[in-house]
Amino acid sequence: MKRYLPFIIIGGVLAIALGVGYAFYKSAKKPVTAEESLAQATPTPNAPPAGGPRVPVSQPAQPSAESAHVRGPANAKITMEEYGDYQCPSCGVLFHELKKIEQEYGTQMRFVFRHFPLQGHKYALIAAHAAEAASNQGRFWEMHEMIYANQAAWSASSDARPIFIQYARNLSLDVDRFTRDLDDPAVAARVQADYQRGVAARVEGTPSIFLNGRQLRPEAYTPEGLRMALDFMLGKRTQ
């Protein structure tokens, strides 16, 4: 009997390992419901908890809120807040879907964009500065859309700076001011404020989406998943 004991032990360990592996496999295959997509949410700083008063998450009483860019009514039932990187391919794809969602949900939703440029993207930081430089002349959203719409072109260039300056020219901005503002410490500070806010909210990558301060799981960042989560928070879905 002793001679067979090591084989019995090894067989038992293998059986346990196979059982655990199968459980993980079943878990990975299980569809995520709207409620589950928010189950491990992390509220953003000064944002309301789920079911609490709808204080706009873009207007907390702290300096980092000054860099938020908002579209939609202040009394909207849902505030969608995105932390994005202009050179992130996934953000570029999501940009087009979010525009559709904004149109579909209308006054039920307001949209907040915050910068979260990643170090691995060569032009992400200057792209964020370009958007903020345009914001100084009241044209943030126009530049935001132009940068995302042309992401493939400037991302593959040898120098994105002159391309962004041309975008400013296309938008009829004061190009001299825009060029100066690209290097303005105040512009850099606004981008950095968004980034630090994201770090505090446990943002680890882009895109990261929050609904009323609750972070969506990455697997919900699909056209169907986003609408399911929005409808759930609007009370249109029970699961």
pTM: 0.75
- Looking at residue 10, its pLDDT comes to 43
> Of 3.40.50.460, 3.40.190.290, 3.40.1080.20, 3.40.30.10, which CATH number belongs to 35-233?
3.40.30.10
Are the beta carbons of 110 and 77 closer than 8 angstroms? no
Alpha-helical (H) ranges within the chain are: 5-29, 34-37, 89-105, 124-135, 140-149, 151-155, 161-170, 175-181, 185-200, 223-233
Q: Which residues contact 81 (CB under 8 A, 6 or more apart)?
A: 44, 47, 57, 58, 111, 112, 113, 114, 209, 210, 211, 213
DSSP output for 147-201 = HHHTHHHHHTSS-SHHHHHHHHHHTT--HHHHHHHTT-HHHHHHHHHHHHHHHHT
Q: Which residues contact 237 (CB under 8 A, 6 or more apart)?
A: 34, 228, 231
Please give the single-letter amino acid code of residue 81: E
Residue 54 in tokens: 């709808």
What are the residue boundaries of the structural domains of the chain, listed by start?
1-30, 35-233
Residue 218, preceding bond cis, omega within 30 degrees?
Answer: no
78: β partners: 109
- Looking at residue 68, its pLDDT comes to 81
Cα 161 from chain centroid (whole Å): 24
Mean pLDDT per 10-residue interval, the chain, length 239 residues:
46 42 36 51 38 28 57 95 97 97 97 96 98 98 98 97 98 98 97 96 96 94 95 79
- Looking at residue 14, its pLDDT comes to 41
Which residue is associated with the tokens 């959203």? Answer: 141
